[in-house]
Each structure stands twice: as structure tokens, then as C-alpha cells.
Amino acid sequence: MSAIGLHELNQLYVRLADRCRSQWTFYQYLQGLFKHLFNSSCPIEIDFPALFSELRQLGSSLGHPETGRTEKTISQLNTKLDGHARKLLEIDAQIPPSLLRRFFDRLRNQDEKVLLAIIKFYLEDHIVAEDTLDKLDILFTRLAEIPRGDQGSLVRERHEIERLVTPLLQLRPPSRTSEQELDVLLHALAELKNEVLACRTFTELVSGGALDRFRSLKRRLGETMLHPRLLPVLLETTVNIKNRFRTLWEDEETALLADTNKVKELEKQLAGHPEMATPDLREMLEIFTSAQKRFDEGKQTENLRREDALKLRLALNRILDQFDVAQLGTVAPPPTPRPDRETFAGSPAANAAAPGSGAVSPIPALQADGLLQEYVSKILFALELVGDDRPAAEAVSAKELATLRLEACEVDAYRRLLDTRAQLGSLEHERARLLVQAAALRIRMDDEAREIDRLQKRGSEHLAETLERASQSLQRASEIERRFGWLVDDALYRGDTEFLEPLYRCRFRLLRAYSGLWLIHNDRGGISPF
């Protein structure tokens, strides 16, 4: 036998062994998918151990002088593998790309050799269907990324991607795509990547259309995506876009949960007072409920679509843009006036209207304080729900007050001013008035800090006016902090040490809210009031 003949025979054997390994790996993949996703066995059975036994016998006879018999055996085994491939592809045709993606998402460790073997199996088929191209896109993308411990990934260097995919692409016939067409496609990929990376929020990314254009481009490419010059760039772009999507989605998922809870609280309040709901609000809440249902179903089935997330975001925005986030818990009407309290221009409860109503504060010393009036009313409404039969230390833990995170001394200060136990103009009165104002301002600043962050992430046009309101809060906080200093100095001078701890606690809590708002206000471009 000639040396050339022996070399060719060895090459045929190596190719045959490689086909066996890729089919065996693909068969194992199908078994795993049916077991973990369908809780059933693979619909077909193939005796690969017997096939590998035949392959080993063939390997031992490669140097046999009767080359014709060896060549015939190789041909017979290839025919057998063709039959196995048809069976495997028939089963694979029943599996949509989304299930392949879900299966590999559940794998903690993705072996590079397994990915390569499955890709080889797909590339052996001369006619690549649309679903198969989608599956190859998923597998190639996983080959081009390096998983990280935080569920994210890093994109491989271009030369590393080329090293992995070039041998695989040699299994395909040469592409007929012209160099000019390739240049146009590469330029389009670069523009799409830059557009996606420039997006600051999930809503901007999804509604901007770049993701849809990228997906459409992939579909139009068809088998052209397997061009050796194009595929590495396509994979690099895909991983970069995937990482940007994941980063923005993590922020958005947290924001969706927080905003959904706010709207749920609004629904809960309206359930007890349906007369407060306008027709427009009812319509918005119905749209929200429908969007949330689709969103939850998508998460439960691990098939959440970005369109469903966008619809939920838009439904939430429509509601939250019309209702002050800080006031969602105060939409209920005031409770019935209580006759057991001294009144000022009517009972305190009657005057504790919902924030934003423009009602006069039931506390005479705070009547002219328009900046804090809404938040004072919010606290008063919660206090009315709790009642005054419990000590202040217990009242702060009541569910009606817990979300406001008040200090016991602040609850006591409100009660003193409401019941006029503190004589107007006295030191006791000024101390209680300061604690009341500090509590209301602290809650306002915390709300404004959260709202600025939310509006900035959404790119909302309402950000500027929120920053302006926050400037007023910062200016008032500086003034109140100075008054804390005066009262602390006075308590030290008089020896009234029992007042020091409450004053210090409320002062430091105000400073913490002040510093948090100042930092985010400054970072988002707010104009300092100082």
C-alpha cells in the first residue's frame, strides 16, 4: 500500500472517530434535556458503546494489507452514522431554540469540548434550517464568553474566538459572500454595538429598537453568519450586547419590584375607598394588572419576553407619573373627627387632609410651613389610625407607622402639639415643633432621593423639577440642623441632659437623610442651594 493511501485512510478514520464523538455528545445532550426539562427519557435509543467497539476494532486493522476491506468498513460505519444523525435531527427538530437556551442556562459548568462537539454535529448537516441557525448562534455565543461568578460574563479576545471557530467553519463549503458585502455588514454590527452600549436604562434599550434590528440582521444573514471573517465579530458583538442587556435588566428588575409594590399599595388603599378612583385611574390599574400577569407568567415559565417587561414598565410609569410616589399611602380620606381632643379650626383629623390637598395644618405652629405641610399631614393621618392609647415607644412599631420609621420622641412631640400640652412659645413647645419638622423633612428627603434616582434611570423629563424641590429641602435641612445645635447647647447649659439623647438621635438621622439627598442631588446635576 502506498504512503499516500495510508495517509488518506488514517484521515478517513480520524474523521469517522470525530463524527462518533460529536454524535455521542449530542445524544447525551438530548438525554439531559429530556430528563431535566421534560422529566422523561430520550425518545430514541442508540447503542453507542457497540459503535465505539466497532471503531476500536477498525483502528487495530488500519495497518492491515487488505486496504479495500478497511475502506469498506469505514464506509459502512459512516452509513450507520448517517442513519443515527437522521434520528437525532428528527428529535432535535421538535426542540425549539428557547429550550436549548434554557437547558444550557441551567448548567453551572459549560464544558468547552461539549459545546464544540454539539456545534460540529449541527455543522455536518448540509442544509441548515432557521431554528438550527438560532441554536448555533446560542452555542457559538457561549463559546465566545467566559462566565463569571456573579452570573455575568466576559467576552473573549477576538483572536481567541477565531482560534475556536475557524476549525469548525472548515466543515462548511466556502461562502460566496463578497468582500464589499462583508464590509457593510461589519460596519452595521459596529454601529449597533455602539448604540446598545450607549443606552443608560432598560427602557431606553428595549424601546430604542437596536435589539430588534440586531435580531433582524442575524435572521437576514442566514448561513452567511458562518463566514470566517464575519462570525468572530458577530459573536463579540453578541456577547457585548448580552452583557449590557443583563446589566440594565438587573437594575430594572429591582426597580420594577419596588414600583409594583407602590402601585399595589395604592390599589390596597383604593379598595377601601373606591370613590377615590377616577375612571382614568381604573383604566390604568387594569392595564397594569394585565401587564403584571403576563410578566409574572413569563418569569414562572422561564420565558419572560423583554416586550412584557417593557409593557409593565410603561404601565407603572403612567400611574407613577400622575401620583406622587411619596404620597401613595395617603390617598384615603381623613378619619372621622375625634371629640376627645382640643381643636384648632376644627378637629385635627378633619384638617389632616391628604398631602397635596392644600389643607391647613392642624398644628397651629406649622400652619404657614408650606414645604412640610404634606408630610406633616401624612404623619398625622398615620397617628390617627394608630390612636393615642398606646405609649409612643410601642406606637412607632405599629404597622401604620412602621414605614415612616419615626422616633418615639417624635411621636410624643406630635401628640404634645396636637393636644396643646406644650404652651405656645415655651421651650417645650419649640423643642416639640423642631422634632415634628425634622421628622417630616427627613421623610421628604428620603422620598426625594429615591425619586431622583428612579427618574434619572428612566430619563424622565420630570427630573429637573424634582431636583428643584430637593434644593428647597436641602436648604430647610441646613436651617433645622442649626436649630438643633441651639437646643443642644441650651440643654447642656441648663443641665437638662434627659433631652440630649432624643435631640442627638433626631439630629443625626436628619443629617444622614440630608447627606444622602445632597450626594444624589449633586451627582444628578442639581444646583446647590448654598
Sorted by sequence, the CB contacts under 8 Å of residue 280 that are 6+ apart come out as none
Q: What is the pLDDT of residue 345?
A: 31
- Winning range, highest mean pLDDT, from 118-132, 142-156, 437-451: 437-451
DSSP track, 342-364:
--SSS-HHHH-PPTTS-PPPSSG
Q: Which one has a higher pLDDT value, 61 or 475? A: 475
Q: What is the pLDDT of residue 127?
A: 67
pLDDT band at residue 409, thresholds of 50, 70 and 90? very high
Name residue, grid cell 446647590.
528
In the predicted structure, residue 34 carries a pLDDT above the cut 60? yes
Amino acid in position 272 = G
Q: What is the pTM of this model?
A: 0.59
pLDDT band at residue 338, thresholds of 50, 70 and 90? very low
Torsion, Cα 181 187 192 193, to 10 degrees, reads 130
Q: Which one has a higher pLDDT value, 9 or 137? A: 137
From the number of C-beta atoms within 10 Å of its C-beta (0-12, 13-18, 19+), residue 48 rates as: middle
Angle of CA points 353, 355, 361, to nearest 5°: 55
In the predicted structure, residue 107 carries a pLDDT above the cut 70? yes
Q: What is the pLDDT of residue 341?
A: 36
Between 33-37, 126-130, 362-366, the lowest mean confidence (pLDDT) is in 362-366
Cell of 185: 455588514
The DSSP code for 206 is H
Contact 510, 464 (CB under 8 A): no
For residue 147, what are the β-bridge partners?
Answer: 153
DSSP track, 318-337:
HHHTTS-GGGGGG-SPPPPP
What are the C-alpha distances in Å from 434 to residues 367, 448, 502, 510? 14, 21, 12, 11
Q: What is the pLDDT of residue 498?
A: 87
Q: What is the pLDDT of residue 67?
A: 66
Mean pLDDT of 28-34: 93
- Winning range, highest mean pLDDT, from 72-86, 383-397, 413-427: 72-86
